Amino acid sequence: MALVRQRTAQGSNATEIEKKIKRGNALRQGSAWRWSRGSVALLLVALSLCGAAMWLYVTSLDSEVTETLVRGSELVSPQPRVYSVECSEDYESYKRYPGCTPQKCGRAVTDSVVTREEAQALRRDVRERIQAVIAETFDLDPAMVYLTKPTFFSRINSTAAKTQHDEYWHPHIDKVTYGSFDYTSLLYLSDYGSDFTGGRFIFMDQNGNRTVEPRAGRVSFFTSGSENLHRVERVTWGTRYAITVSFTCDPAHAISDPTLP
């Protein structure tokens, strides 16, 4: 009986040892599995960090954009969306022309002045319509507002962004850059996001940067003084087409209708 019991004890001891060995293996396997899961997690973290770093690098140039005034996907119609800003003192150092020199300043966007179809096949009366909406928005006499130069067609792609002497992404004031400007308008001919990336228009205010996303047929217009310091974000992909149409209050700077390409 005692022998049997001992054998049983030994047997149970053997079983105990086998169990311990198995448990040990299981533990080793478990930790090995845990380690590989850990390294996958580490790898994922590293990859996401790389991705985040790349994203930050790509967006760093324009990460200061804080507010979008008008999204590319929106349709601003029928009334222009007007954002009033206080007029700067710039105009005081220029001759004042009643019915034209800004009394109220601001910036505005509309998608109803030019249709998308018209944006693709430009018509000459676009200038008149833009002039009319500016006069209406800023309470001017349309006959006292004159088209001025330069009125230019711009085609910007990512290559142009690197080589162009006229570095459009630098902040500027139109009235300072082109003395004759009193009202600046931009007619966009392509869509932000689908025709090109980057290339948003940015008003740089003291308390934040505000953007307008271009959209074929969209007209954005604003008073040209330092109340509307702005720049254009670098185009990172695709081609951004726009036409700048500018107006002056000074008849001496008036030009006749341009022949658009």
- Minimum Å gap between C-beta 155 and ligand NAG is 7
Query: CA-CA distance, 28 to 162, in Å (whole number)?
Result: 57
Tokens of 180: 């004759």
Give, in order, the Cα–Cα distances in Å from 89 to each of 81, 86, 193. Answer: 24, 9, 36
Catalytic residue among 127, 210, 231, 240: 240
Contact 199, 232 (CB under 8 A): yes
Contact 146, 254 (CB under 8 A): yes
166 binds ligand NAG (CB under 6 A): no
Of positions 209, 211, 224, 228, contacts ligand NAG by CB under 6 A? 209
- Minimum Å gap between C-beta 85 and ligand NAG is 14
226 binds ligand NAG (CB under 6 A): no
Catalytic annotation present for 23: no
User: Contact letters (x/-) for ligand NAG, 176-205, by CB under 6 A?
Assistant: ----------------------------x-
Separate counts of helices (H) and strands (E) for the chain = 5, 11
CA 231 to chain centroid, in Å, comes to: 11
In the chain, % helix, strand, coil (3-state, to 5) comes to 40, 30, 35
68 binds ligand NAG (CB under 6 A): no
Tokens of 200: 């948003």
30 binds ligand NAG (CB under 6 A): no
39 binds ligand NAG (CB under 6 A): no
Residue 75: CB partners within 8 Å, gap ≥ 6? 111
Contact 259, 147 (CB under 8 A): no
User: Contact letters (x/-) for ligand NAG, 73-112, by CB under 6 A?
Assistant: ----------------------------------------
Nearer to ligand NAG, 174 or 182 (CB): 174
- Minimum Å gap between C-beta 196 and ligand NAG is 10
- Minimum Å gap between C-beta 57 and ligand NAG is 16
Query: CA-CA distance, 159 to 208, in Å (whole number)?
Result: 29
CA 113 to chain centroid, in Å, comes to: 22
Nearer to ligand NAG, 113 or 202 (CB): 202
Nearer to ligand NAG, 114 or 243 (CB): 243
Query: Which residues contribute to the site for ligand NAG (CB under 6 A)?
Result: 64, 66, 157-160, 204, 207-209
Mind telling me the catalytic residues?
A: 240
